[in-house]
Amino acid sequence: MTVLNLSFAACGFLGIYQLGAVGAFLRHGEKLLASLNACAGASAGALVATVLITAPDKLEHCKEFTYKFANSVRSQKLGAVTPGYDFMLELREGLEEILPPNAHQLAADRLHISITHSKSGKNSMVSRFSSRNDLIKVLLASSFVPVYAGLKPVEFQGQTWIDGGFTDSLPILPAGRTITVSPFSGPQDVCPPHTGRGSLHLNLANMRIMFSKENLVRLNQALFPPSISRMKMFDQEGYQDAVRFLKREGWMQ
């Protein structure tokens, strides 16, 4: 049987779409998950991959945290960059709540997180974690957008790191087939259908997306979250697009 992996795209607050897709995998994709070798992701995608690997029972908790986090950012006068607002602290508190004590052990060699070296600009994929705290550090590094999330990059193993989405926003693992999930319409396995006539693509650090008004709006919403009602719509869209994929591939249960 072909080795199967799942990869989740860097997408900021549109990670709620990918949590919706995970809901469909957990409910209808038992056959796929039974064959799953590993998960990968960058930025918000790394957070979603971590939930699937280490805390699938906390999926609804993750969604509620995402809505709360989005509300918190939206309520700031200047969003995440409002002076005095600590974006990374709020994210860390959410991770501390959600991840189980043995998350780093569950994640070993099954979770691949994309991060970017702050000085060289080179990508690194991390799949081994000496402790739960190390796993949290790598997740924070993969989600750290300079200025937006703060001024000081995240330190891990004596080096400083920033958002993995800058250098590899949708990691493809070397062995087997990597099923890709993205809230932006494009050639990914699970993504919103493209409704326009154009066929131009943008390449965002190894992720191709359609050049469309809808995608440009979504790119903006990744950093500047929309209303909770709109985010709940993204959740449902992710679920429905994943169900469509499972049916297409013959994995629906």
3-state secondary structure of 8: strand
3-state secondary structure of 202: strand
**What are the residues whose beta carbons fall under 8 Å from the beta carbon of 218, sequence distance 6 or more?**
11, 14, 183, 184
The backbone torsions φ and ψ at residue 168, rounded to the nearest 5 degrees and listed phi first, read -155, 95
Q: Which of 114, 142, 163, 189 is catalytic?
A: 163
The backbone torsions φ and ψ at residue 108, rounded to the nearest 5 degrees and listed phi first, read -55, 120
186 and 207 Cβ atoms separated by less than 8 Å: yes
* CA 128 – CA 182 distance, rounded (Å): 25
14 and 183 Cβ atoms separated by less than 8 Å: yes
Q: Which residues pair with 181 in a beta bridge?
A: 8, 190
Residue 160 identity: T
User: Among this protein's residues, is 43 annotated catalytic?
Assistant: yes
Neighbours of 101 (CB within 10 A): 7
User: Among this protein's residues, is 163 annotated catalytic?
Assistant: yes
Q: Which of 43, 114, 124, 142 is catalytic?
A: 43
| Active-site residue set | 43, 163
